[in-house]
Amino acid sequence: MAGKVYLVGAGPGDARLITIKGKECIEKADAIVYDRLASPRLLKWAKPGVEKVYVGKLPDRHTMKQEEINQLLVDLALEGKVVVRLKGGDPTIFGRVGEEAELLRQNGISYEIVPGITSAISVPAYAGIPVTHREHASSLSIVTGHESPEKLDRMIQWDKVTNATGTLIFMMGVAKIGYISRQLIKHGRSPATPVALVRWGTRAEQDTLTGTLADIEEKVQAADFQPPAVIVVGDVVLQRERLKWAEKLPLFGKRILVTRTRSQASSLVSKIEDLGGEPYEFPVIETIAPTSDEAVAGLRSALDKLPIYDWVFFTSTNGVEFFFRHLKEYGRDIRSLAGARIVAVGPATAEALRDYGIAPEVLKERFQAEGLIDAYGPELAAGQNVLLPRGNLGRSWLPEKLTEMGLSVTEATMYENVLCGEDDEELMKLFAEGGIHAVTFTSSSTVTNLLKVLERMGAENPVELLKGSAIACIGPLTAQTAAEAGLDVTMMAEEATIDSLVEALCSWNQQEDDPRTR
């Protein structure tokens, strides 16, 4: 039985600008056929084992001819697969979706066209250019600029198009900008007509060049302005200086690698996005329940003794989540800890406990083991019992210090940190091209694991590969691990929190943009 093909518009580049239905199609796909203008982040929503086929086109090179792409969709569907053809922007605007749909129809294959946000309007919007404006333009035309001058002349009636609408949008026309400008001037547009080219709009590489029909070709050549870009012609371009907003966001223009576990990454990812950056998720660490018989036995023994503890020190949100998961699994009652003082290291850990109805004492400074001793040292007495719910890679300093002070310490491995990270060719390419502007590390494990994964993916010297990226660490221990591995730590959060890490990133980007610091 044949499968089904979804011809999906991926939007202009920012992964958040795909439609809900488009995202749902990606999530259920057995095979995804995608092109150069579709954000690689969209593939992160695909289910494990999905077949991914890149058919992207460059200005001087086609990975696969259109006829071959059409047939590929048919062949995949005839294998019984749910297929997503992921196309940049909207598939019906210069996306050749009609050709793909026609061959599917001829072969009796079910398909749907899922519209996307076209770059014709969204890319100018991200540059502060509304394509219509009450005072400047009440209509617009979307025109291809990709073909040769001879073919453009056959396809475009310049005498009619030039003044048919207030705003003209040319797609994929950077290489032909001079010819386009001359034709518009020849057919009646003033040489002083404003023009804007917006390259890689909505993505970290977004760049905007403005001029007039008279000088835009010279400016493009002088700036070596490369495709892909959307060309906007008309008085609406004058709105840019007043309305540009994306460039003013604190993390605009920066693609930031997020290495923490996928379950924990959402907070950091959303903060980066809200501040105008482009997060690139590449989790290199995964947390799982203990697997060894010894660890499981130790965990059960610790839970059997809940009533005896005088102190419980939670040092991470993972420790909290897995602790309550194990309580439920083994049928234990949180009320058994009624006699214990429960302490959270840091606000995030405290918030995780509050989600379970526990109002902990909160360590407000030095969110690490040393801070616990500083804050509670006078109250820690020999003979007291302490429970440390933690991961398998937890530092030995705290239990050793507590034991030295005469306390009885029970270390319970609530979870294990394991190496993860699928091979990602796009990430390797971005590193090589300087497209990863900053790398965030939220634990020592993320440092060591990223280096291991990069080496596994073929990097001869992972440390050298990271030299072109700023290194951002959440705290001194993580920074120490990074430095010992040979990395140059660019910034460290003042507090070991995600908010503080993001603040450090914003300060760094501000310094990068300040000409006085260059």
Which residues belong to the active site? 35, 57, 172
Separation between Cα atoms, residue 240 and residue 493, nearest integer Å: 35
Cβ(450)–Cβ(429) under 8 Å? Answer: no
Separation between Cα atoms, residue 118 and residue 72, nearest integer Å: 25
51-54 and 31-34 strand pairing: parallel
> Computed from CA positions of residues 21, 22, 28, 29, in that sequence, does the dihedral angle turn out positive or negative?
positive
Query: DSSP H helical segments within 29-96, as ranges?
Result: 66-78
**Torsion on CA atoms 405, 407, 408, 413, rounded to nearest 10:** -80
Laid out side by side, the sheet with 229-233 consists of 140-144, 167-171, 229-233, 194-199, 207-212
Separation between Cα atoms, residue 313 and residue 390, nearest integer Å: 9
Q: In what helix (H) or strand (E) does residue 310 lie, and over which residues does it extend? A: none
> Computed from CA positions of residues 498, 499, 502, 508, in that sequence, does the dihedral angle turn out positive or negative?
negative
Spatial neighbors of 210 by CB under 8 A, at least 6 apart, are: 194, 195, 196, 197, 237, 240
Residue 146: strand, helix, or coil? coil
Cβ(146)–Cβ(180) under 8 Å? Answer: no
